[in-house]
Amino acid sequence: MTSLNGRGHAVCIGADIDTDLVIAGRYLRTKDRKVWADHVFEDLDPGLAPRLKGAVLVAGKNMGCGSSREQAAVALREAGVLVVIAPTFARIFFRNCINIGLPVMECELRGCRDGMTITYDCTDGWVELEGRRFSSRPLSPRMEDILASGGLDEYWKGRLSR
């Protein structure tokens, strides 16, 4: 199960962050998810990884562009990220996050800085920052179903065993 609402501290990154920067190609060939969490954002800023536990990752536009590597989404979840919020996402990364049970919200959080407390509700589609409320673009019912199952593996497992 994935929690679709919660609270965490903001970790802010820039715009057009590609999935190579989330997890570099040299770490992809393994089944050990911890490897990806250990090396997340290594080529962007090695100081980021230790701050991701319980974090709301706030990115600029076009988050997750580039390679289709699902390991990027898994790395963020394994490192402890609760939700990824950005004004726009690259579509494959957006699908990947939902498919591995990491909530994503399309929302422009103006005035957000590192360390601020963020409250969010993915189902109702809002984000609160310093007493200000922002609305996010709604997810489709299918995306909500997949997220609520905890990811596409559990979603299909539930359906195929019926």
Partner 1 sequence: MVTLSEKILGAPAGTYIDRKVDRAFSHDGTGIQAKIVYDRMGSPRLANPSSVYIIYDHLSPANNSQTAELQAELRQFSRHEHVHFFDIGSGICHQVMSEGHVLPGEIVIGADSHSCTLGAFGAFATGVGASDMAGIWVSGETWLRVPDTTGFILSGDLQKGVEWKDLALSYIARLGMDGATYQALEFTGESTGTIPMEGRLTLCNMAVEAGAKTGLFYADKVTARYLGRYNLSADEQSPDDPGYVREEFLDLDDLEPVCAVPHRVDTIQSAGCLAGTPIDQVFIGTCTNGRYEDLARAAAILKGKQVRVRTIVVPASMQDYLKATKTGILADLIQAGCVVGPPGCGPCLGAHMGVLGEGEVALSTANRNFKNRMGIGASYYLCSPTTAAASAIRGEITDPREVV
Among 1, 3, 7, 30, binds partner 1 (CB under 8 A): 30
Among 67, 78, 82, 136, binds partner 1 (CB under 8 A): 67
Residue 65 binds partner 1, judged by CB under 8 A:
yes
- Contacts of partner 1 in 105-134 (CB under 8 A): none
Q: Which stretch binds partner 1 (CB under 8 A): 12-20, 76-84, 108-116, 120-128?
A: 12-20
Neighbours of 10 (CB within 10 A): 19
Q: Of 120, 124, 144, give the one whose Cα is nearest residue 132.
A: 120
Q: φ and ψ at 104, to 5 degrees? A: -130, 145
Neighbours of 136 (CB within 10 A): 20
Q: How far is the CB of 151 from partner 1 (least distance, A)?
A: 7
Task: Walk across the sheet containing 117-121 and list its strands.
Answer: 104-106, 83-86, 55-58, 5-12, 117-121, 126-129, 132-135
Among 38, 43, 108, 121, binds partner 1 (CB under 8 A): 43
Among 4, 5, 18, 125, binds partner 1 (CB under 8 A): 18
